[in-house]
Amino acid sequence: MLREHGLFPERSNFLSGDIPACVFEVAGGRLGMASRLVEAGAERSLERKGTMVNRDDLSQATDEWAIPKGHIDYNPFRDGVRRAILK
């Protein structure tokens, strides 16, 4: 939807590598929280004039938004997932 709404020229891929597990971990399994993380990542990408939201944008959003808000106390994008188990 980010590309379809004209925010970015390229499609963001939130399903590659460990991104789903990291987003799940930061969001605590809550869809609304995952949406807010992606929104915060999109803001970081726009600030750097990115062409899509990438893993680094989500990591930065975790450091600058999720951790200070108390949603999580570490960054799984940087430190690895501690709790989530994907099957």
**Which tens digits make up the pLDDT trace of 10-22?**
999 999 999 999 9
Query: For the chain, what is the domain count?
Result: 1
Is the residue at 6 inside a domain? no
Identify the pLDDT of residue 85. 55
Is the residue at 63 inside a domain? yes
Is the residue at 12 inside a domain? no
> Of 51, 23, 52, which is closest to residue 37 (Cα–Cα)?
23
Is the residue at 67 inside a domain? yes
68 is in which domain, residue-wise?
A: 19-79
> Of 44, 24, 43, 48, which is closest to residue 34 (Cα–Cα)?
24
What average pLDDT does the segment 37-60 reach?
A: 97
Distance CA 55, CA 22 (A): 10
Is the residue at 74 inside a domain? yes
Which is it for the CA torsion 47, 4, 69, 17, positive or negative?
Answer: negative
Is the residue at 84 inside a domain? no
pLDDT, averaged across the chain = 93
Query: What's the alpha-carbon Rg for the chain, to the nearest Å?
Result: 12
The more confident residue out of 59 and 7 is 59
- pLDDT tops 80 at residue 46: yes
The pTM of the full predicted model, rounded to 2 decimals, is 0.90
